[in-house]
Amino acid sequence: MAFDAIETPFGKNNKTVGGAATYIAWSASNFTRPINQISVVGGDFPKEELKMLQARGVIMDGVQIKEDEKSFFWSGKYHMDMNTRDTLDTQLNVLADFKPVLPDSYQDSEYLMLGNLVPAVQMSVIKQMKKKPLLTVLDTMNFWMETAMEDLENVLKHVDVLMVNDSEARQLSGQYSLVKAAKQILKMGPSFLIIKKGEHGALLFHQEQVFVAPALPLEDVFDPTGAGDTFAGGFIGHIARTKDISFQNMKSAIIVGSAMASFCVEKFGTNRLKEIGHTEIDRRLQQFKELVNFEISLV
């Protein structure tokens, strides 16, 4: 839970509420509650943002508030293709020595979503769980492959689902072909791999099976910040709602995640996620169904 300053070809926002856990909670809380949040913020983080999430069933017992410190801050500028971005500034602040503490009341959590963060911090949360969750999902990024690969390889051994983008899957596996990359990564620990490809959709790999999820073709991508986290929130939210961790149901979870991400990019920060409800979500899920619906007649 943090602040972002974002510049896109469509506009500029000098300080907006962001952070992986914020996006995940906004997204997942459409599908399941309670959500046991773990994070750390500074005294500058707006209390009303925490209250809005609490009103949606997000428990804050695991969110540390360090009143005398500042929240994590990231500033970035997106290029025209909205897939590449330059980091302009990163201020770790409260994240510099973040030691997550799992409240006792969280011990019965059945689904664990580890947002993108230092792999050792992700590992620390896994270790604090006395009972292995039904499903542990991990999001990560290229930065940790370059700076903490050993820790990342270690945490990968303890997760069921890994989410990365296509270039990260290539980097992690050393394979150019995504099919070969998936085979390699599925040997590193996770039994499910989700490769996110932005405007090109997403792939789910499990054993010999593969699923291709479309992205909704959008007229404008206003701000892609948080789209991956929002995807993760929709994914884990759907799994928690349906209590079904089969390959078949993970396909649906990816469609839910993709639908949520397609909302996220329509406005700056979490603004769009704050507006939508079940009616809009259902309508968009239907759109995804129609997007890929075709008949085959064999030859």
For 62, phi and psi rounded to 5 degrees? Answer: -95, 10
Q: Do 152 and 145 meet the contact criterion of CB atoms below 8 Å apart?
A: yes
Applying CB under 8 A, among 155, 162, 213, 240 the residue interacting with its own copies is: 213
Scanning 103-111, 113-121, 150-158, 241-249 for contacts with its own copies by CB under 8 A, the matching segment is: 241-249
Conformational region of residue 198, where left means phi above 0, alpha means psi within -120 to 50, and beta covers everything else: left
Interaction of residue 24 with its own copies, rule CB under 8 A:
no
Q: Do 200 and 227 meet the contact criterion of CB atoms below 8 Å apart?
A: no
Scanning 14-22, 39-47, 97-105, 277-285 for contacts with its own copies by CB under 8 A, the matching segment is: 277-285
Scanning 37-45, 61-69, 204-212, 223-231 for contacts with its own copies by CB under 8 A, the matching segment is: 204-212
Interaction of residue 207 with its own copies, rule CB under 8 A:
no
Q: Do 288 and 258 meet the contact criterion of CB atoms below 8 Å apart?
A: yes
List C-alpha distances in Å: 87 to 17, 83, 141, 164, 165.
17, 13, 14, 19, 17
For 2, phi and psi rounded to 5 degrees? Answer: -160, -175
Interaction of residue 235 with its own copies, rule CB under 8 A:
no
Scanning 38-46, 87-95, 105-113, 209-217 for contacts with its own copies by CB under 8 A, the matching segment is: 209-217
Please choose, from the candidates 152, 161, 253, the residue with its C-alpha nearest in 3D space to the C-alpha of residue 206.
161
- Within 10 Å of residue 14's Cβ, how many Cβ atoms? 10
Q: Do 204 and 193 meet the contact criterion of CB atoms below 8 Å apart?
A: yes
Interaction of residue 169 with its own copies, rule CB under 8 A:
no
Least distance from C-beta 211 to its own copies, angstroms? 7
Please choose, from the candidates 20, 26, 28, the residue with its C-alpha nearest in 3D space to the C-alpha of residue 3.
20
Interaction of residue 171 with its own copies, rule CB under 8 A:
no
Indicate the residue among 68 and 277 with the shorter CB distance to its own copies: 277
Least distance from C-beta 64 to its own copies, angstroms? 32
Applying CB under 8 A, among 179, 243, 274, 275 the residue interacting with its own copies is: 179
Span 80-119, contacts to its own copies by CB under 8 A: 80-81
Helices (H), 29-88: 47-54
Scanning 10-18, 53-61, 117-125, 284-292 for contacts with its own copies by CB under 8 A, the matching segment is: 284-292
Interaction of residue 17 with its own copies, rule CB under 8 A:
no
CA distance linking residue 210 with residue 291, whole number of Å: 19
With 0-12 / 13-18 / 19 or more C-beta atoms within 10 angstroms meaning exposed / middle / buried, residue 60 is buried
Scanning 66-74, 112-120, 122-130, 248-256 for contacts with its own copies by CB under 8 A, the matching segment is: 248-256
The binding track of 58-87 with respect to its own copies, each residue x by CB under 8 A or -, is ----------------------xx------
The answer, yes or no, to whether the previous bond of 34 is cis (omega within 30 of 0) is yes
Applying CB under 8 A, among 66, 85, 251, 267 the residue interacting with its own copies is: 251
Least distance from C-beta 242 to its own copies, angstroms? 7
Binding site for its own copies (CB under 8 A): 30-31, 80-81, 176-180, 197, 199-201, 203, 210-215, 217-221, 241-242, 248, 251-252, 254-255, 278, 281-282, 285-286, 288-289, 291-299
